[in-house]
Amino acid sequence: MQWARCRRLVADRRRVAANHRTLKPETMNDSILIARRAILEPAGLTDSDLERLLGELRGPAIDAADLYFQTSRLESWVLEDGIIKDGGFNLEQGVGIRAVSGEKTGFAYSDELHYPALEQAARAARSIAGRGRDGRTRIAVDVQPRCLYDPSNPVESLANEDKIGLLQRVDREARRADPRVREVVASLVAAQDIMLVVADDGTVAADVRPLVRLNVSVIAEQGGRREQGSSGGGARADLGYFLVADLALELAREAVRQALVNLEADEAPAGTMTVVLGPGWPGVLLHEAIGHGLEGDFNRKGTSAFAGRIGQRVAAPGVTVVDDGTLPGRRGSLNIDDEGTASQNTVLIEDGILRGYMQDKLNARLTGAVSTGNGRRESYAHLPMPRMTNTYMLAGDKDPAEIIASVDRGLYAVNFGGGQVDITSGKFVFSASEAYLIEGGRIGRPVKGATLIGNGPEVLTRVSLIGNDLALDRGVGTCGKEGQSVPVGVGQPTLRVDGLTVGGTST
Amino acid sequence: MAHHASDDPPRRLAPLRETVQMILDEAERQGATAAEAGASSRAGLEVGVRLGEVETVEHTRDNGLGVTVYFGHRKGSASTSDMSPQALREAVAAACAIARYTQEDPCAALADAGRMCREVSDLDLYHPWPITPEQAIELAIACEDAARHCDPRITNSEGASLSSYWGLQVYGNSHGFIGGYPTTRHGLSCSVIGEDGHGMQRDHWWSSARAPQDLDEAAAIGRRAAERTLARLGARPITTRQAPVLFQAEVASGLMRHLIGAIQGASLYRRASFLVDRLGERIFPSFVRIHEEPHRPRGLSSAPFDGDGVATAAKDLVRDGVLQSYVLDSYAARKLGMETTGNAGGVRNLMIDMGSRDRNALLAEMGSGLLVTELMGQGVNTVTGDYSRGAAGFWVENGTIQFPVEEITIAGNLETMFAGLVAVGNDCDYSGSTRTGSWLIDRMTIAGQ
């Protein structure tokens, strides 16, 4: 049934094509205008060139085809030893060309944007389906009114003197905060990514994505013992983001605080125990334990521990988890995904019941679903696939203090490094970088970093208390999948999990 | 598309050298007192198959160039994928603009002229593979078929993939050094899923080589992937305990890379390493020798010169258990008041002297303990040496594997783990530039149920 509907869509698509709609400046939004000026015009590419390229890709055996144009610029500054030591500027551009036939994908890309290079790439991409008669596609305008972030270039949002001044203030703040601070490394990155996607289903969409990031890392030393603390923040915003309420200085103090906590930390416990996870970044739990396992590709292939479990209970009552690409200014947010689909707020788990997967166009088409706006790619040189945006659990009604007080003996973990998951067995890890023992309902002494391990389909069934303090992370997450990195966000309220394995050394 | 290997990449070296020279000239024209530049080109084919059908065919072609300019001891960098003359000028201008804002750093400069590589020797790194997409698909399917037909419990597949790339890299700096060479790299890998009453497991195997004839046979890779998956079926946690741990060879190579992370320049001058100030001290038992062989013919990370243009050289990093050398580029060396070790860009072909015993002999020596075949997550703190990672493997009693284990962690501290290395096996049987057999560590904490 679903397949028949798909076929009908193909027919509709051809009718759209017959309307001969072409790109017209007066009907385009800012992003498309900016993308045309930044990518197509300098390369001398016209609408008819794009139509000819899509025509090259089309054929009776081709189900979908797209062209993904991208240009990105990134500037970074590094402070170390109290001086601005290094800076860099990177400019990348290119086009990725894809032709899909059933479950087969042909892909080629080029960092040269002149027409002959594109034509060669298009022929390589479509060779997947053998030769067919040439189709002809007209592209239509798809207006994207949403604006989750300002399309201006964050690289130019502060004068260079002010970027440097910002890092120097971070350095001074960290050293002022405590005399035990020995080393401070701070970095500031601003990037602008402009993409334009043109697909044979009539999609023409563009997005202009800013991304800024500030990282602070310190080493503190006391009595011959050295410990590290780090902190960071970021957003789809301009660099002014770090000046509001002196966020940059707060990040510096936070890095120092963590290093000082670690100077006092004892051995972490080993074994399975009750764990209370703090709000915000500890939501990396959700990203690893369930997020990847709910990506459409793994479920279409039946390789995920969650495959075929829609409608089943996978979490305790009260647990609702969403993937939301529509939050203004968030690191994981997107106006549109890299296939031109508007991002969404997708409910993954509702009151403990598995509701949905995250889809891109390919996996949606093959499973009779619709794209949820999760088709993402690292760059033009990579194929899109289902990826998370901002993944978080909605708030419950418990006071966080009450949650701590409910635990007689356990671990309170508030900061984490990264995590990893084996989506087939469901086993996942995430590594605490700041944690405390809970003894008699009170937060006790700090313990060293330790890896926590659990089973994805099971862990959320052990969530017994959900805090009222939902927070999202500070904008530091980068997710890796099949060698591709994309920026993401996570979040959660304070959670009590009755039974996670804590990988300390103290037995 | 014309086949990728027919482009005759070595003939493109001369234009890349010209590009690097143009960048250096442009940097001088724009007022830089010194500059260094790199340019690279890479192209290849990667096919993915799954359940006997082709899934992806990817044709790749990447260009890149990077430049660092110095104005005295201030520096700035820029990079781009655009190789046009205009883009080169703009990249240099962007680097110069940044150098106006960076601050005087007495250690920031090119490596000393006397240390430049004098002769770019041929390390036998270029072996193009004239393989068509159809042939690549056929080989990948043969690999996956061998895995799928190994046992009826292999019920699904993540597929097999074959890749073949050539690359060119040229580096030059204003000392007058310009060097470049072509390389190739080919790979075949397979990952399959097994299922029994307890659930699903997946595992993989791979082969990677400079020359196609050095790749393992496709069917052997597939069978190995299937055997690894099958061995994991029925895995379960064990209770929390302390026990000896045998890191299987390909997992043990990660411990060697943690050593490098702790003796590389930036960790040392930032005092962000548990091995700060330990040069000349014993960090392993006396039987341990760990060395770097950057000129190994066909080595997966062989290179005649490093990222500073400095000649690479074989050396011992650990001999008789004693730390002999750090791993430094010229910048870190100046920060530490030392000499560069020719390691800008990392170590190249890290090896340990293997022992005489195979894995079974080491299992027998361990008696009862954990054989680790997979590690998950980060969980390694280079500053303190604290180590805590997710693990999967097998519980061993009396030298015999009892059952597969998962959902556990292993924890310790790298300093005590290195000191507690009991034996290194002779069972190095994986593809990779870090070469070791299995490592038997006397005691770690295992957290489980």
**CA B161, CA B46: separation in Å to the nearest integer?**
7
What pLDDT score was predicted for residue A135? Answer: 45
Q: Which residues of B touch A506 (CB under 8 A)?
A: 445
**CA B230, CA B150: separation in Å to the nearest integer?**
10
Interface test with B, best of A429, A433, A447, A448 (most B CBs within 10 A): A429
A127/B377 Cβ within 8 A: no
Amino acid symbol at A386: P
Find how far residue A206's CA is from the centre of its chain: 18
Q: How far is A30 from chain B (nearest CA, A)?
A: 26
Q: Is B44 helix (H, G, I), strand (E, B) or coil?
A: strand
Query: Tokens 């205009």 identify what position?
Result: B86
Q: How far is A191 from chain B (nearest CA, A)?
A: 14
Q: How far is A381 from chain B (nearest CA, A)?
A: 8
Helices (H), A339-435: 361-367, 400-405
B412/A505 Cβ within 8 A: yes
Q: How far is A236 from chain B (nearest CA, A)?
A: 23
**CA B32, CA A331: separation in Å to the nearest integer?**
37
Neighbouring residues of B445: CB distance < 8 A, sequence distance ≥ 6:
A270, A503, A504, A505, A506, A507, B240, B241, B242, B410, B411, B412
Residues of chain B with pLDDT under 70: 1-7
Q: Which residues of A touch B232 (CB under 8 A)?
A: 425
Residue A377 phi, psi (nearest 5): -145, 150
Residue pLDDT tens, chain A, 507 long = 222 222 222 222 223 333 333 333 333 468 999 999 999 999 999 999 999 999 888 877 889 999 999 999 999 999 999 999 999 999 999 999 999 998 999 999 999 888 998 998 998 888 876 544 444 444 555 555 689 999 999 999 999 999 999 999 999 999 999 999 999 999 999 999 999 999 999 899 999 999 999 999 999 999 999 999 999 999 999 999 999 999 999 999 999 999 999 999 999 999 999 999 999 999 999 999 999 999 999 999 999 999 999 999 999 999 999 999 999 999 999 999 999 999 999 999 999 999 999 999 999 999 999 999 999 999 999 999 999 999 999 999 999 999 999 999 999 999 999 899 999 999 999 999 999 999 999 999 999 999 999 999 999 999 999 999 999 999 999 999 999 999 999 999 999 999 999 999 998
Distances (CA, A) of A52 to A60, A139, A506: 16, 10, 66
Please report the ipTM that was assigned to this predicted complex.
0.94
User: A495-503 and A270-277: which strand pairing?
Assistant: antiparallel
DSSP A461: G
Q: Which two tokens stand for residue A130?
A: 């053998």
What pLDDT score was predicted for residue B1? Answer: 35
Q: Are B446 and A504 in contact (CB under 8 A)?
A: no
User: B439-447 and B434-435: which strand pairing?
Assistant: unpaired
Q: How far is B189 from chain A (nearest CA, A)?
A: 13
User: Which positions 50-79 of A are in contact with B (Cβ < 8 Å)?
Assistant: 75, 77
B80: nearest CB among A84, A91, A185: A91
Q: Which two tokens stand for residue A23?
A: 């790109």
Q: Is A318 helix (H, G, I), strand (E, B) or coil?
A: coil
The answer to whether residue B390 neighbours chain A at the CB level (below 8 Å) is yes
Query: Tokens 């995920």 identify what position?
Result: A304
A80/B270 Cβ within 8 A: yes
Residue B135 phi, psi (nearest 5): -65, -40
Interface test with A, best of B60, B75, B98, B203 (most A CBs within 10 A): B98
Q: What is the pLDDT of residues B378-412, one digit of tens each?
A: 899 999 999 999 999 999 999 999 999 999 999 99
What pLDDT score was predicted for residue A145? Answer: 65
Residue B368, Cβ density class (10 Å: 0-12 exposed, 13-18 middle, ≥19 buried): middle
B386/A303 Cβ within 8 A: no
**CA A28, CA A33: separation in Å to the nearest integer?**
7
B81/A92 Cβ within 8 A: yes
The β-bridge partners of A442 are A439
B445/A507 Cβ within 8 A: yes
